[in-house]
Amino acid sequence: AQSVTQPDIHITVSEGASLELRCNYSYGATPYLFWYVQSPGQGLQLLLKYFSGDTLVQGIKGFEAEFKRSQSSFNLRKPSVHWSDAAEYFCAVGASGYALNFGKGTSLLVTP
């Protein structure tokens, strides 16, 4: 069965600092991997996705993620965080014909 683990429930970073949000997955084959962001009271916005090919994927808002098969990870990174990046971040795994399986989310707080 698919599963997604986001080890960090909360992360606090200073504005301008770099960010890495962790995501580990469990799946028998190479899954489709996604990162979504959710602002309070809002729906989810797709940041980036990985299906195949280049393991470093670029997304919107300056985010990137790297797929590491050996570590079953798909960590999200941003070199310099802005206050507007404060939100809830969800990693998700999917497979052809199936719905997404979401991690529990990581809440990002950005301090001045």
Partner 1 sequence: GAVVSQHPSWVICKSGTSVKIECRSLDFQATTMFWYRQFPKQSLMLMATSNEGSKATYEQGVEKDKFLINHASLTLSTLTVTSAHPEDSSFYICSARYRKETQYFGPGTRLLVL
Site of interaction with partner 1 (CB under 8 A): 32, 34, 36, 41-46, 49, 51, 90, 94-96, 99-100, 102-105
Residue (70 or 96) nearer to partner 1, CB = 96
CA dist 112 and 105 (Å) reads 23
For partner 1, the closer of residues 74 and 90 by Cβ is: 90
Closest to 24 measured CA to CA, from 37, 16, 33, 15: 33
| Shortest distance, position 48 Cβ to partner 1, whole Å | 10
Least distance CB 49 / partner 1 (angstroms):
6
Place of tokens 């962001």: 37
Structure tokens at 69: 């098969």
